[in-house]
């Protein structure tokens, strides 16, 4: 529900306070382990306090801090400005760094001890009392002359995160400075991110804040396109179709994380997701970086897992073909037998496939035959034989889960049949067939 506060009051001041333009751009990276790295960039394009008449500052010198923040030098405190200029002069003259530390990329450490707030911006009070914050969806909606008569928060968003409102409310009634505005913008971005909106631009455009009302422009990133790297064109199209987000949709982290979990369900690939700026302002590209392993492999091995009566030696051989019927449609087979293929032979076949509605199907079939003569002494033997078979089905449904978790429920059915025949002296001692039908249900949770 949109909140509107329209009690008309005009708070006059003997001068006008014009603030400049803050803009933050972020790039976020999601990995399959759900680890996330992010960087934040703030550009303060113009900022000034003007007495008697409005004035728009022209382009002036900026300095880039070690965290990638570009700040107008004139917005810094006089002492900090002096240190910046002295350091720049020392570097140009080859006399060392000066009072401020500078890294190899020419970025300044304005607060090397972590002291101070607001990226070194001025803490001079511009307005004694923040009466209201107006949140707008487009820069064109901004009133350069400012808003009067607003108290509290005003917005017209249908899906406004409550946590963002709580964050802004904490600043209502407090003094306004460039440093406090910088911190508020940072906190608003964090509140959006904590509310599942990972790509948001928060702008503080040029405006008159004399009435005690600040206008913020919040532009939530919309998907421009999905780019896939690391695979061929046919596979690119398949992975792109697995993403539930479509062009023009707002980006929500929970939806993106679910898509990423689904893409990483296959054991033959690992997908990382990165946000990048789109072609147009307010648009975001999603980049899927794929590390794809060979979906076909075979193996041959030896085991000593048998019994003394049937022989302990076993040979195993099989293959896995992860995309035999297309992406995420695989088949595997294994043979288990004694060394001369005369006593025990077992076959198992497993199909695993992703369904279009994001469920996972597993079908299993196995067959084992035993035919052995067991010596009992005095040259006599007991002949033991039989057949066992199994058919199983598993149906897995992924569930919504917090970030870093993968949850699903499973349902299944098993059919098992076993025939054991024991023959002694040419006569059957017993010949019994056992048949079992069983159903199963389960719940799985793991950390991605």
For the chain, give every domain's residue range: 18-219, 222-292, 296-447
Q: What is the pLDDT of residue 6?
A: 27
From CA 76, how far away is CA 110, in angstroms rounded?
10
Burial of 194 from C-beta contacts in 10 A (0-12 / 13-18 / 19+): middle
Q: Which two tokens stand for residue 390?
A: 């199994």
pTM over 0.85: no
DSSP 274-316: EEEE-SSTTEEEEEEEEEE--SEEEEEEEE--SBTTTBS-EEE
The residue-averaged pLDDT of 322-350 equals 91
Residue 51 pLDDT more than 50? no
Strand partners, 446: 406
Q: Which residue has the tokens 């001041």?
A: 13
pLDDT of residue 62: 66
CB atoms within 10 A of CB 264: 19
Cα–Cα distances (Å) from 176 to 55, 117, 125, in that order, read 19, 14, 6
Nearest to 384 by CA among 322, 281, 310, 285: 310
pLDDT of residue 385: 75
pLDDT beyond 70 at 281: yes
DSSP letters spanning 13-51? -SS--EE--EEEEEEEEE-TT--EEEEEEEEE------S
Angle at 267 (CA atoms; ends 266, 271), nearest 5 degrees: 65
pLDDT of residue 298: 94
Token look-up 């950390």 returns 447
For residue 176, what are its two tokens? Answer: 């306004």
Whether the predicted pLDDT of 319 surpasses 90: yes
Superfamily covering domain 222-292: membrane protein fhac (3.10.20.310)
- Supply the pLDDT for residue 163: 94
Q: What is the CA radius of gyration of the chain?
A: 34
Residue 24 pLDDT greater than 70, yes or no: no
């Amino acid at each position: 529900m949109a909140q509107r506060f329209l009690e008309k009051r005009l708070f006059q001041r003997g001068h006008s306070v014009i603030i400049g333009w803050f803009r933050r751009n972020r790039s976020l990276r999601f990995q399959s382990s759900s680890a996330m790295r992010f960087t934040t960039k703030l550009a303060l394009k113009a900022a000034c306090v003007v007495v008697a008449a409005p004035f728009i500052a022209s382009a002036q010198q900026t300095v880039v801090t070690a965290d990638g923040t570009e700040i107008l030098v004139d917005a810094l405190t006089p002492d900090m400005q002096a240190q910046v200029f002295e350091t720049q002069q020392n570097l140009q003259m080859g006399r060392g760094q000066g009072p401020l530390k500078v890294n190899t990329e020419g970025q300044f450490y304005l607060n090397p001890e972590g002291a101070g707030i607001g990226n070194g911006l001025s803490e001079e009070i511009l307005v004694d009392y923040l009466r209201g914050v107006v949140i707008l969806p487009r820069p064109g909606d901004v009133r350069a002359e400012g808003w009067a008569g607003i108290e509290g928060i005003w917005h017209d968003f249908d899906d406004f995160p409550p946590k963002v409102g709580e964050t802004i409310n904490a600043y209502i009634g407090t003094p306004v400075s460039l440093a406090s505005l910088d911190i508020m913008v940072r906190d608003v971005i964090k509140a959006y991110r904590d509310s599942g909106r990972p790509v948001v631009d928060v702008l503080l455009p040029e405006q008159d804040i004399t009435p005690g009302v600040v206008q913020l422009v919040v532009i939530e990133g919309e998907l421009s396109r999905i780019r896939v790297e690391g695979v061929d064109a046919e596979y690119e199209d398949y992975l792109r179709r697995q993403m539930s987000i479509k062009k023009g949709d707002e980006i929500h982290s929970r939806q993106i994380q679910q898509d990423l979990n689904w893409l990483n369900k296959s054991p033959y690939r690992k997908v990382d997701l990165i946000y990048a700026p789109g072609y147009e302002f307010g648009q975001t590209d999603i980049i899927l970086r794929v590390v794809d392993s060979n979906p076909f492999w075979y193996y041959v091995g030896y085991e000593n897992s048998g019994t003394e009566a049937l022989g302990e030696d076993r040979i195993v051989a099989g293959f896995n073909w992860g995309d035999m019927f297309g992406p995420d449609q695989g088949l595997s087979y294994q043979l288990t037998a004694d060394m001369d293929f005369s006593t025990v032979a077992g076959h198992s076949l497993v199909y695993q496939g992703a369904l279009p509605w994001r469920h996972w199907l597993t079908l299993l079939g196995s067959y084992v035959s035993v035919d052995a003569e067991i010596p009992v002494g005095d040259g006599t033997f007991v002949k033991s034989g039989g057949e066992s078979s199994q058919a199983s089905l598993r149906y897995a449904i992924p569930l919504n889960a917090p970030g870093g978790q993968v949850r699903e429920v499973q349902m299944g059915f098993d059919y098992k049949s076993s025939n054991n025949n024991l023959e002694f002296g040419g006569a059957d001692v017993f010949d019994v067939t056992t048949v079992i039908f069983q159903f199963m249900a389960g719940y799985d949770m793991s950390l991605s």
